[in-house]
Homo-oligomer: A and B are copies of this chain.
Amino acid sequence: MGRKTRVASWLEQTSDDFETRFSAFLSTKREVSEDVNAVVKAIIDDVRARGDAALIDYSARFDGVDLAKTGIRISEDEVDAAFAETDPAVIDALKFAAERIEKHHARQMPKDDIYEDAIGVGLGSRWTAIEAVGLYVPGGTASYPSSVLMNAMPAKVAGVPRLVMVVPAGGGKINPAVLAAARIAGVTEIYRVGGAQAVAALAYGTETIAPVAKIVGPGNAYVAAAKRQVFGTVGIDMIAGPSEVLVIADRENDPDWIAADLLAQAEHDAGAQSILMTDDAEFGHAVEAAVERQLKTLSRSQIASASWRDFGAVILVENFDKALPLANRIAAEHLELAVADPEALLPGITNAGAIFIGRHTPEVIGDYVGGSNHVLPTARSARFSSGLGVLDFVKRSSILRLGPDQLRKLAPAAITLAKSEGLDGHARSVSIRLNETALENGD
């Protein structure tokens, strides 16, 4: 770690070329999109055609595991064993996190709204849980028990009766804490299969795995491509990109605290992005120096260095009011407000996945035990989407109920519009019910 690791961009709002540089910064791509569509399509077709046999073949080839021997489904005994193998302190922490997540998400459950309007028309929204949800969990180092909780708990709170987890068993191994988290979160079935083949099995079903109606959870390029391809047959969540944090901080912060937050983001992935926005150049330099210092003692320093060197940014703003429009354009997945009066900034923030208020709310708390969800919109998609929540696991049926009187009142406008759109059959479906005799005898 001899060499200096400088931040990728240093932007100053008062400089003449700021808008040009900021626009360029916004449009920086942080991931190479591999075109794996053809390979993925072949895998999906094969799983549809051959079912379990295809899963067994791909798992042997990609994961080095013989599912014919181990079974595709992970047994309750195996989960028991994984639970016993997991550090009790980790079990306790997972339970603590799960309870907080459950309590918070329970407040998100939408309520049915069935009512009669002024003329007696029955209207409403009725919410029901999705009947079966698949949860993809990556293998290897990205196999995070905290993500199992974050993806599964909202489904559980929503009342999803069948919650099916798939996780690849690279070399036969699955992180025991992931299985423990699945049990704590109430996952109902677990299969040791991953990749595009697991997504295909969830969407179309095999002899062993019954199909689900929606698939959520992060994965590599193959998993993401497979989710896009099966979308329509099943629902999917958003396709997650590399993670990012925007920290808005004044000079009153300890530079080391802010540097630690930037590095917590950067250590995720070389494509992650950490941005500091401050009104004080000297503080910005102090944070940059703290980042360099802290990088030396970070176990994932190589990843974090790459992220900071390639995508990190310090943006020097004129003042925090002028920072907000920039923050809204960045639309960060995570936004920390480490300033003297964070609540004053809040009303001006329109685009952010999650907002962490004040100097004692590091984003990391939200990753684990805050209670809110850590599956959040990345790469500026907070402009149009929300973090994962209970609403992602329910759907709404609208309700309409008319009697003869209500029909008589609404019919004329409906018939006028139907005829103006050239849809005679639509007009007839209403007018045929206006026959007085029929109406008198109607229910």
Q: Is A89 an interface residue (CB 8 A)?
A: yes
Find residues 375-405 in chain A having any chain B CB closer than 8 Å to their own CB: 376-377, 379, 381-387, 389, 391, 395-404
Given the known interface contacts A92-B413, A387-B396, A399-B357, the answer about A367 and B420 at a Cβ–Cβ threshold of 8 Å is no
In the assembled complex, the CB of A269 is this many whole angstroms from the nearest CB of chain B, namely 11
- What B residues does A432 contact at CB under 8 A? 254, 256-257, 260
Residue pair A424, B300 in contact (C-beta under 8 Å): yes
Residue pair B385, A395 in contact (C-beta under 8 Å): yes
Q: Is A11 an interface residue (CB 8 A)?
A: no
Residue pair B398, A372 in contact (C-beta under 8 Å): yes
Q: Is A94 an interface residue (CB 8 A)?
A: yes
Residue pair B264, A421 in contact (C-beta under 8 Å): no
In the assembled complex, the CB of A138 is this many whole angstroms from the nearest CB of chain B, namely 12
Binary flags per residue of A102-141, CB closer than 8 Å to B gives 1, else 0: 0110011000010101000111011011110000000001
In the assembled complex, the CB of A12 is this many whole angstroms from the nearest CB of chain B, namely 26
- What B residues does A358 contact at CB under 8 A? 401-403, 443
* A341: nearest chain-B partner, CB-CB: B443
Question: In the complex the two chains form, what is the Cα distance from A422 to B426 in whole Å?
Answer: 62
Q: Is A234 an interface residue (CB 8 A)?
A: yes
Partner of A294, one of B125, B376, B428: B428
* A382: nearest chain-B partner, CB-CB: B395
Residue pair A397, B214 in contact (C-beta under 8 Å): no
In the assembled complex, the CB of A109 is this many whole angstroms from the nearest CB of chain B, namely 11
Residue pair B93, A416 in contact (C-beta under 8 Å): yes
Residue pair A365, B117 in contact (C-beta under 8 Å): no
Q: Is A217 an interface residue (CB 8 A)?
A: no
Given the known interface contacts A360-B407, A384-B130, the answer about A353 and B398 at a Cβ–Cβ threshold of 8 Å is yes
- What B residues does A385 contact at CB under 8 A? 235, 395
Residue pair B365, A430 in contact (C-beta under 8 Å): yes
Q: Is A166 an interface residue (CB 8 A)?
A: no
- What B residues does A425 contact at CB under 8 A? 260, 263-264, 266-267, 294, 298, 300, 304
Residues of A within 8 A of B (CB): 87, 89-90, 92-94, 96-97, 100, 103-104, 107-108, 113, 115, 117, 121-123, 125-126, 128-131, 141, 144-146, 177, 213-214, 232, 234-235, 239, 254, 256-257, 260-261, 263-264, 266-268, 294, 298-300, 304, 328, 335, 340, 342, 346, 349-373, 376-377, 379, 381-387, 389, 391, 395-404, 406-407, 410-414, 416-418, 420-430, 432-433, 438-439, 442-443
30 contacts between A and B (CB under 8 A): A107-B113, A107-B125, A128-B350, A130-B383, A131-B328, A256-B432, A257-B432, A257-B438, A264-B428, A264-B429, A300-B423, A354-B400, A355-B397, A356-B400, A358-B403, A359-B433, A360-B404, A360-B442, A361-B400, A362-B433, A364-B427, A365-B410, A365-B430, A367-B414, A370-B402, A372-B399, A385-B395, A386-B397, A387-B398, A389-B396
